[in-house]
Structures are given as structure tokens and as C-alpha cells.
Copies of this chain bind each other. A is one copy, B any other.
Amino acid sequence: MAFAAETNPVDALKAVFRRHASGVAIITLNAENGDPVGFTATSMTSLGATPPLASFNVASGASTWAHLCKAKYVAIHTLTESNIPLAQKLAADHTKRFSDSDWMRGPHNLPIFEGVSSVLICRIREIHSVESNAVIIVEVIEGLVGTEANPLIYHQRSYKTTADIV
């Protein structure tokens, strides 16, 4: 077996996730006072089609966590290879994430960023806290469908896109 054993669990997690690629999404919602909040997520995934469900993970230390716990709706944006600046902005200083005019109000008054490949409008259904993180389960209400461009991928701490296997 051509494997090296990594007996430290934290180091094992890091080594394995360096080898795993993820699609990049951004999640937006409204704070109780109506202000837009949001963050970049690499954990968004489908949880079945009947009914249509999705899930994503968030750290309970994240700036958006307290707002998620009180929100009813979220907008999940799928990103393209052209959206690196947006992915970086929604992962940086949380006070500046909505300071540009690249978003507007959509269904349920949710903040919707332009130029992404699609948006899922979802109702928050369950929140499962586990240690200092949580799994958020949402039910899809409707969608906003944009262009079918090359998707944005996060791998080895870099933004990439997909390619055919040669």
C-alpha cells in the first residue's frame, strides 16, 4: 500500500482535504435589521430531490452565524471561474461584503449577487450544531438560473476551474 500513515487526526484532516476539490458557493441572507450578510462556502451540496433539499456547513465563530440562527430564508449562489473576486470578497472583511453595487434585492428580499451562474432561494429547515460548527439544511423554494459557464473550484488553497480528463 503506497500510503503514509498520519496518526494525528487534525493533520490527517488537513492532508486529506488538500487532496479533495470543492465547488464554491456564496450564501446570503438578511440580518434581523434587514442588513445583507453572507459568506463564501465550499460545503454546499444536494440532499435529495423529493423534496428538494441542500445542506452547507458553517463555523459558529463566523460573522454570519448569529444571523443564520434567526433567519428564515437564504440565497445560495453557484459561482463561475469569473467570480474569484466575489468569492474572495465574501470570505474577507465582513463589513465590506455588500459595499459595492454588484447585488440587488430578490425573492423574500434576499440579497442577490449578479454575474453568478445560478441562485437557489431556500427556506432554512434544520440547524444541527456539532462542536464549534453546524450543518444547515435548507429546502429549495425556487431558482434563478443564469449562464452555464465553467464552475469555480477550490483546491489546494487556490481557485481553479474544471477540465476534461485527457
Contact B132 A135 (CB under 8 A): no
Residue of B nearest to A56 (CB): B45
Residue of B nearest to A141 (CB): B9
Q: How many copies does the complex hold?
A: 2
Contact A114 B57 (CB under 8 A): no
Q: How many residues on chain A are close to B (CB under 8 Å)?
A: 85
Query: A: which residues have CB within 8 A of B?
Result: 1-23, 25, 42-55, 57, 59, 76, 78, 80-81, 84, 104, 106, 112, 114, 117-121, 125-126, 128, 130-133, 135, 137, 139-148, 151-153, 155-156, 159-165
In the assembled complex, how far is the CB of residue A11 from the closest CB belonging to chain B, in whole angstroms? 7
Beyond the given A12-B143, A151-B155, A153-B162, please list 16 additional residue pairs across the A-B interface where CB-CB is below 8 A. A1-B104, A2-B147, A4-B146, A5-B144, A6-B145, A12-B121, A13-B54, A13-B143, A15-B145, A16-B143, A21-B152, A42-B45, A43-B45, A48-B130, A53-B130, A160-B162
